[in-house]
Structure 1
Amino acid sequence: MTSMPATDGGEENEFHAKYTVINDQLIRSCIQLKQIEHDDGTDQESKTMRALKLKRDTMDFALIEHLSFSFKKKLDLSFNKITKIEGLKGLKNLKYLSLFSNDIEKIEGMEDLMELKSFSIAKNKIKEKSSIQYLRMFPRLGMVTLYDNPVCEERDFRNMVLAFLRNLKFLDYRLIEEEEVQTAKERFHNELLKVSDNEEQYAQNQEEDEKKLLEEQLLAKANIAGIDDLFDEMFECEADETIKIFNYCTADIIEKYRTKFTDKKDEFKMEMINSSRNKDNELEELYSTLQKSQYETNSSSKTLIKEFEKKKKEIISNVKEMTAESEEEDLHQLDLLDRELDILAEKLIEVEVNQSEAFWEVIEEFLPNYREMDCTSKIQNFFKKLKKIEDKYSIELKDRLMDQVTTIAEDTNEKVKDILEDKDQLFTLVQRSKEAHKEIIGQKELKLIQNEKDRMLFTVEKTKKDEHERNRSRISEIWTFVERVKEEIEETRKFIISPEEYYED
Structure 2
Amino acid sequence: MSQSYNSIKPNVIDDEMLQKAVEERLPEDIGKLAKREGIDFKDVTELQLSFRNILQIDNLWQFENLTKLQLDNNIIEKIEALESLVHLVWLDLSFNNIEVIEGLDTLVKLQDLSLYNNRISKIEHMDTLQELQIFSIGKNNLTALEDVVYLRRFKKLRTLNLTGNPFCEEEQYVLFVVAHIPDLVYLDFKLVSDTTRELAVSKYHYLIDPLEHEEAQALAQLEEKLAKQKELEYHKRLDEIHHATSYNIAESKRAEYNEDILQLSETLMTLEMQTVDQLEELIKDFEKNIAVIASTFIENVKGMMAQCRDLENRHHEKLLEISINTLEKSVKNELDEDLPDDVRELLVDKTTLVNMVNTSHNVHLLKIDMRECDILSNTYRWQASVTGKAFQNEIDRNRNRVKEIFQYIDNLQEQLDSIELLEPPE
Normalised-by-shorter TM-score class: 0.3 to 0.5
Whose helix fraction is larger, Structure 1's or Structure 2's? 1
Which structure would you say has the larger RCO, counting Cα contacts within 8 Å and 6 or more residues apart? 1
User: TM-score w.r.t. structure 1 length?
Assistant: 0.38
